[in-house]
Amino acid sequence: MTDVTIQIDNPMEIPFRRNGFIRFLNVFLGRKVVVFGAAIILALIVAAIFAPIISPYDPYSQNLSESLQPPSRAHLLGTDRFGRDVLSRIIYGTRVSLLVGIVSVGSAAFIGMTLGLIAGYFGRFINTLIMRFIDALMAIPPIMLALAIASALGGGLWNVIISLGISLIPTQARLMHGQVLTVKQADYITAGEVIGASDWRIMIKHVFPNCLPPLIVLITLNLGVAILAESALSFLGVGIRPPGAAWGSMVNDGYQYLLSNPILSFAPGFAIMLVVLAFNIVGDGLRDALDPRLRGTI
Amino acid sequence: MAASHLLEVKNLTTEFRIGGSVIRAVDGISYYIDDGEIVGLVGESGCGKSASQLSVLQLIPMPPGNIVSGEAIFQGIDLLDFDPDGEQIRAVRGGKIGLIFQEPMTSLNPVLTIGRQIIETLVLHLHMDRQSARKRAVELIDLMGIPDAKQRIDNYPHQFSGGMRQRIMIAMAVSCNPNLLIADEPTTALDVTTQAQILEILRNMVKAFNTSLLIVTHNLGVVARYAQRIYVMYAGRIVESGTVKDIFDNPCHPYTLGLLKSVPRLDEPKGRKLVPIVGLPPNLGNMPGYCAFWPRCSKRSPACKKKPWPELRLISGQHYTACDYDFDKK
Amino acid sequence: MSDNTLLEVKNLKMYFPVTKGLLRKTVANVQAVDDVTFSISKGETLGLVGESGCGKTTVGRCILRLYRPTAGRVIFEGQDISLWPKDKIRPLRRKIQLIFQDPYSSLNPRQSAGDIVGEPLTVHKLVKNNREYRERLGELFRMVGLDPGMQDRVPHEFSGGQRQRIGIARALASNPSFIVCDEPVSALDVSIQAQVINLLQELQEELKLTYLFVAHDLSVVRHISDRVAVMYLGRIVEITDWETLYENPLHPYTKALLSAVPIPDPSLEEKREQIILRGDVPSPMNPPHGCYFHPRCRLATPECSRVKPPLRQIADNHAVACIRV
């Protein structure tokens, strides 16, 4: 069906030129559900930054006389067993969630992509070495790894970040590696070689940018994964330690009162769900918007 | 003109709706093919030559495609009256009209042996029993010049070279004794010597089975060698038609003339300068009201822009052109 | 060889090993190029023609030293570059350039046209400052018939023919003396092919370029080349000037190849003899004994299956590898 594809043969004839970024935004924000996801993420970022201003109470101050109160006008989501305001703790919890997500995924992406790029580009011995290492890493279940690190180093924010970061490296490295192998086939990589560019230059200028779109999608999806995993670790008690406000540990705290005061677990649980959903939706939206098949169409 | 043609297409128009724009890939074309004839349909990519053939067999995806108007009378019946997913049109495709595509690998099922695929066709269209269908399949493969037909029939498509796969496609296409073969760029993906082999097989099939053959191609040499009549397409329309001699010895449309001047010929003397056709093919989504070749035409005049695209007019015999320029005056 | 020789290829062999298993044991060799010898003079165009898999592209890539030849010598401007290490090759890339077949895959979709054409200038530090860079870019764009105002556009905003021009401009940026054109027009539409062929010819005249023109289309190769080498299964079977190629081809494969190319002239086509070859090209992993062409050859004798025919000089400008000639 090569005959019927639209050809924009003469750029002069294109009535108005839109650059790549605007085209990307058009597709990305063209779907309502993606706008919804993006709005949630934006709201969370705002909440995390301005937590002290937004939250009605100090999330750490205990007031045992007001413990386990149901939702009321004073405490919109009630209080926990130490009398701390649940809403304030959830708002502060976004800080932990986003910090864990961004730092662990960010460092995993950086390390994983670098390893995948080097392995895929140079191939041969280096490839075997790096990719077998990644395979070994992949064989360790992330929760196991986190538990091991937590038991060795103790829990806490930074150990959670480290263990999650390590466990997220393989997916990033594998995808990058696969992308590099595809992109390497393209003639423009040979062209880079022919004009005398160094390996370094070809890797950074020609290979890397063309590998990126699916990796951006993966990073978004992994943010959801990391936030969920942090909650799971905190729930298990090897994550953020009390009195830190983390959603996972809040679910755990409320667990005992599930029948009498379900909001204690449901509210942070809902927050976790919302965030993971938002990141997945945005990831899907990015996948559509970055799809190379949409490139060049008007 | 003969009383009735094997296939006569009248005023066929096909549009595609892509994004916000409507692309008229085929713009009111008419042509015919008689029994035992080899006809060439020539044009560059995007001119609508493939889309027109797919329209006739209702093989274009709908939507975004849409056959706006036209008739395709094959043996007295209008193929466009049939339901596109119905039994009747399917009996015609692969039955009375055989199809050969450019890339045989995508048309053959990779997980079935080629024998099985040919046998299925025979059982489906000719209601043969499996045993005789297998015998016939071996005969067909043998006829295509594939050695060891008996053994190779149980091979899978990937075990054959590109040229061999194209032979298998032809074997499948002729398996049901079609009255018409439509070959869409049958040799574009192949090497020249393989191309010659394949086209020779096609020519022999036409002679042996008295079928007709429509070759859709961009290669002027191929039609000069094999076709009796030619239709030249540009931007969805037929701009010139006639016998091979008409078209090559006395081209009467500036586009045909331009094509002939722009291709290097094997027998040319040194120093012959190619005369390219300037500019680019038009954007089918945004066609002017006048002749679409005007921006690239070497014989254009301001008057051309004031009238709609000229209809085909008779030059002599069967020779028609869609241009008002008088080539004899010069 | 005379002083006028720019490039000499001597007994070039390029075998690609086929490996199997974890230890990458070589189980066979694909003999992509098998003992190829030719030379190209300054300002000349040598056409290299053959069917897919005949090794013509590999020859080009060996000259560009994208591959390290298995054996043989590649002598460019008097220096044997066939074994040079990578860091020594890089500066040489200024002088030997490549034009690709596929105008879509050969341009980085994430670079602007200007960046693509200007990259060799940056890599080889050929310009002193930004102003010089801009000037040179404009000059290159105009040279290939593109509007310098289109520098900021990305490849997908150009048509196939225009993209090919961008690729040509990139190849010209470092002022090369020798360009390997690898099927530069075969991906283009008929009416655009002529534009690019003419451009290549004009550039050659203007910049005194030397071309190795690799293509499968005999008409195009003959049109642009001074001499033509015909390859079959990794070997050159015949090499001669453009005129003799059509008037007096000697190798049976050349004859078959010529006869397979239809000429857009029906009256002539009626008279032409057609040679239809039997079967397929054998696998380069396991080529036939003796002359590689003998299983498909009309003139083959038992001797042909025993003797590997050398490329023999039979006239001043004509060499054939066939014992029956």
Tens digits of residue pLDDT in B256-266: 999 999 888 88
pLDDT mean over A102-119:
94
Structure token digits, residue C113? 């046209």
Answer yes or no: do C91 and C119 share one domain: no
Residue A15 lies in a domain: no
Question: Which of the given ranges, A134-148, B188-202, C311-325, has the highest pLDDT on average?
Answer: C311-325
Query: Does A8 touch chain B if contact means CB atoms closer than 8 Å?
Result: yes
- Is A294's pLDDT higher than 50? no
Q: Is A3 on the interface with C (CB under 8 A)?
A: no
Say whether pLDDT at A297 is over 50.
Answer: no
In a domain, B216, yes or no: yes
Same domain, C80 and C202: yes
Q: Which of A77-81, A209-213, B96-100, C231-235 has the lowest mean pLDDT?
A: A77-81
Q: Please, what is the average pLDDT of chain B? A: 86
Residues C35 and C155 in one domain: no
Nearest 5°: the CA angle C134, C137, C141 is: 140
Mean pLDDT of A79-92: 83
Going by C-beta distance under 8 Å and a sequence separation of 6 or more, which residues neighbour residue C129?
Answer: none
What is the rounded average pLDDT of the residues B65-83?
A: 87
Task: Label each residue of chain B as H, E or C.
Answer: CCCCCCEEEEEEEEEEEECCEEEEEEEEEEEEECCCCEEEEECCCCCCHHHHHHHHCCCCCCCCEEEEEEEEEECCEEHHHCCCCCHHHHHHECCCEEEECCCHHHHCCCCCCHHHHHHHHHHHHHCCCHHHHHHHHHHHHHHCCCCCHHHHCCCCHHHCCHHHHHHHHHHHHHCCCCCEEEEECCCCCCCHHHHHHHHHHHHHHHHHHCCEEEEEECCHHHHHHHCCEEEEEECCEEEEEEEHHHHHHCCCCHHHHHHHHHCCCCCCCCCCCCCCCCCCCCCCCCCCCCCCCHHHCCCCCHHHHHCCCCCCEEEECCEEECCCCCCCCC
Average pLDDT over residues B152-158: 88
Strands B180-184 and B97-100: parallel
Closest CA to B41 of B234, B249, B316: B234
Give which of C110, C161, C119, C160 is closest to C140, Cα–Cα: C119
Is there a domain that residue B310 lies in? no
Domains identified in chain B, total number: 1
Would you state the pLDDT for residue C107? Answer: 94
- Residues C45, C21 share a domain: yes
Amino acid at site C186: S
Identify all chain C residues contacting B193, using CB atoms and an 8 Å cutoff: 51, 256-257, 260, 277
Q: Which chains touch C (3 or more CB pairs under 8 A)?
A: A, B
What's the Cα-to-Cα distance from B27 to each of A219, B13, C264, rounded to whole Å? 48, 5, 27
Measure CA B220 to chain center.
13
CA B295 to chain centre: 27
Stronger pLDDT, A171 or A27, i.e. the higher one: A171
Higher-pLDDT residue of B287 and C215 is C215
pLDDT at residue A14 above 70?
no
Structure tokens of C258?
A: 């010529």
User: How many beta-carbon contacts under 8 Å exist across A and C?
Assistant: 82
**The tokens of C270 are what?**
């009626």
- CA-based nearest residue in chain A for residue C62: A194
Best of B144, B192, B204 to mutate (most C CBs within 10 Å, chain C) = B192
Please calculate the CA angle A202-A203-A209 and round it to the nearest 5 degrees. 100
Beta bridge partners of B93: B97
Question: Residue A228: its pLDDT value, please?
Answer: 86
The confidence score (pLDDT) of residue B2 equals 46
Domain, as residue range, for C261:
5-95+176-320
Q: Note the pLDDT tens digit of each residue in A18-57.
A: 456 776 777 777 778 889 999 999 998 998 898 888 888 8
CB pairs under 8 A between A and B: 50
Q: Is residue A20 part of a domain?
A: no
Q: What is the domain-level CATH number for residue C222?
A: 3.40.50.300
Residue A292: is its pLDDT beyond 70? no
Of B61, B65, B281, the CB nearest to A9: B281
Q: Specify the number of domains making up chain A.
A: 1
Residue to mutate among A1, A2, A4, A5, with most B CBs inside 10 A, is A4
Most confident of A73-82, A87-96, A103-112, A143-152: A103-112
- The answer to whether A5 contacts B46, with C-beta atoms less than 8 Å apart, is yes
Q: What is the CATH number of the domain that holds B232?
A: 3.40.50.300
Contact across the interface for A197 and C156, Cβ inside 8 Å: no
Same domain, yes or no: C10 and C128: no
- In chain A, residues 175-194 whose CB comes closer than 8 Å to chain C: 186-188, 190-194
DSSP state of A207: I
Judge residue B209's burial from the number of C-beta atoms within 10 Å of its C-beta, 0-12 exposed, 13-18 middle, 19 or more buried. Answer: middle
Chain B residue at shortest CA distance from A13: B283
Any chain A CB within 8 A of the CB of C186?
no
* Residue that terminates a domain, selected from C174, C205, C230: C174
Contacts of residue B101 in chain A, CB cutoff 8 Å? none
Are C39 and C164 in the same domain?
no
Collect all residues of chain A within an 8 Å Cβ-Cβ radius of residue C100: 187, 190-191
**C296 vs B310: CA distance, rounded Å:** 51
Judge: C191–B276 Cβ closer than 8 Å, yes or no.
yes
> What pLDDT, on the 0 to 100 scale, is given for residue A9?
36
Report the C-alpha gap between C321 and C325 in whole angstroms. 8
Contact B197 C216 (CB under 8 A): no
Q: Confirm whether C203 is domain-assigned.
A: yes
pLDDT at A76: 78
C108 neighbourhood in chain A, CB within 8 Å: 188, 191-192, 205-206, 209-210
pLDDT class for B21, splitting at 50, 70, 90? Answer: confident
Residues C128 and C199 in one domain: no
State whether residue A195 is helix, strand or coil: coil
Span A251-266, mean pLDDT? 82
Instruction: Convert the pLDDT of each residue in B25-58 to its tens digit.
Output: 899 899 999 988 999 999 888 888 888 988 888 8
Give contacts of C159 with chain B, Cβ < 8 Å. 280
A186 CA: distance to closest CA in chain C (Å): 6
Nearest to A9 among B60, B65, B283 (CB): B283
Q: CB–CB of C66 and A206 under 8 A?
A: no
Q: Which domain holds residue A284?
A: 40-294
- The three-state secondary structure class of C43 is coil
Say yes or no: C79 and C118 in one domain.
no
Q: Which residue has the higher pLDDT, C9 or A251?
A: C9
Q: Which residues of chain C are under the pLDDT cut of 50?
A: 1
Structurally, chain C folds into a number of domains equal to 2
Instruction: Tell me how far apart the alpha carbons of residues B93 and B99 are, in angstroms, rounded to a whole number.
Output: 7
Q: Tokens 């010598």 correspond to what residue? A: C73
Q: Which helix (H) or strand (E) holds C20?
A: strand C5-20
- Is 70 exceeded by the pLDDT of residue A13? no
- Residue of B45, B65, B282 lying closest to A2 (CB–CB): B45
Q: Is residue A3 part of a domain?
A: no
Tens-place pLDDT, residues A218-245? 998 888 888 888 888 888 877 777 777 7
Note whether residue B95 is domain-resident.
yes
- pLDDT of amino acid C63: 94
ipTM strictly over 0.95?
no
User: Average pLDDT, stretch A114-129?
Assistant: 92
Residue of chain A nearest C160, judged by CA positions: A9
Residue A26 near chain B (CB below 8 Å):
no
The per-residue pLDDT for C22 is 67
Enumerate residues 6+ apart whose C-beta is below 8 A from C170: A191, A195, C116, C117, C119, C120
Distance between CA C174 and CA C140 in Å, rounded? 10
Radius of gyration of chain C (CA): 21
DSSP H or E stretch at residue C98: strand C96-99
Question: What's the rounded Cα separation, in Å, for the pair A289 and A30?
Answer: 9
CA distance linking residue B211 with residue B155, whole number of Å: 28
Co-location of C206 and C311 in the same domain? yes
A132 and chain C: CB distance < 8 Å anywhere?
Answer: no
In degrees, rounded to 5, the angle at the alpha carbon of residue A203 between the alpha carbons of residues A199 and A209 is 160
Ramachandran region, residue C319 (left: φ > 0; alpha: ψ -120 to 50; beta: rest): beta
- Do C295 and C196 fall within a single domain? yes
- In-domain check, residue C69: yes
Query: Using an 8 Å Cβ cutoff, are C107 and C189 in contact?
Result: no
Interface test with C, best of A183, A190, A195, A198 (most C CBs within 10 A): A195
| Contact indicator for B179, B151 with CB cutoff of 8 Å | no
pLDDT score recorded for residue A20? 62
Gap between the Cα atoms of A108 and A163, Å rounded = 10
Categorize the per-residue pLDDT at A4 as very low, low, confident or very high, splitting at 50, 70 and 90. very low
Nearest CA in chain C to A187: C106
Q: Which residue range(s) make up the domain with B243?
A: 7-266
How distant is the alpha carbon of residue C52 from its chain centre?
12
Confirm or reject contact between C10 and chain A (CB < 8 A).
Answer: no
Cα C76 to Cα C8, C52, C84, C172, C210, distances in angstroms: 6, 26, 12, 18, 12
- Taking an 8 Å cut-off on Cβ atoms, the answer to whether C97 and A209 are in contact is no
Does A195 sit within 8 Å of C123, measured CB to CB?
yes
The answer to whether A13 contacts chain C (CB < 8 Å) is: no
3-state helix, strand, coil in chain A (%, to 5): 75, 0, 25
Indicate yes or no: CB of C120 within 8 angstroms of CB of A195: yes
CA–CA dist A47, A54 (Å, integer): 7
**Is residue A257 a contact partner of residue A264, using CB atoms and an 8 Å limit?**
yes
DSSP lists the bridge partners of residue C71 as C13
* Contacting residues for C20 by C-beta, under 8 A, at least 6 apart: C27
- C161 and C294 in a single domain? The answer is no
Asked if the Cβ–Cβ distance from C265 to B248 is below 8 Å, we say yes
Residues of B in contact with C193 (CB under 8 A): 262-263, 276
C258: closest chain B residue by CA: B266
Residue B1 clears pLDDT 50, i.e. is over it: no
Percentage of residues of chain B with pLDDT beyond 90: 18
Domain boundary among the residues C134, C149, C174 is at C174
Q: Does residue A254 sit within a domain?
A: yes
The answer on pLDDT for A7 being more than 50 is: no
- Together in a domain, C196 and C300: yes
Tokens representing C213 are 């023109």
Give the per-residue pLDDT at C287: 87
User: For position A150, which CATH number holds?
Assistant: 1.10.3720.10
Rounded CA separation B36/A147 (Å): 79
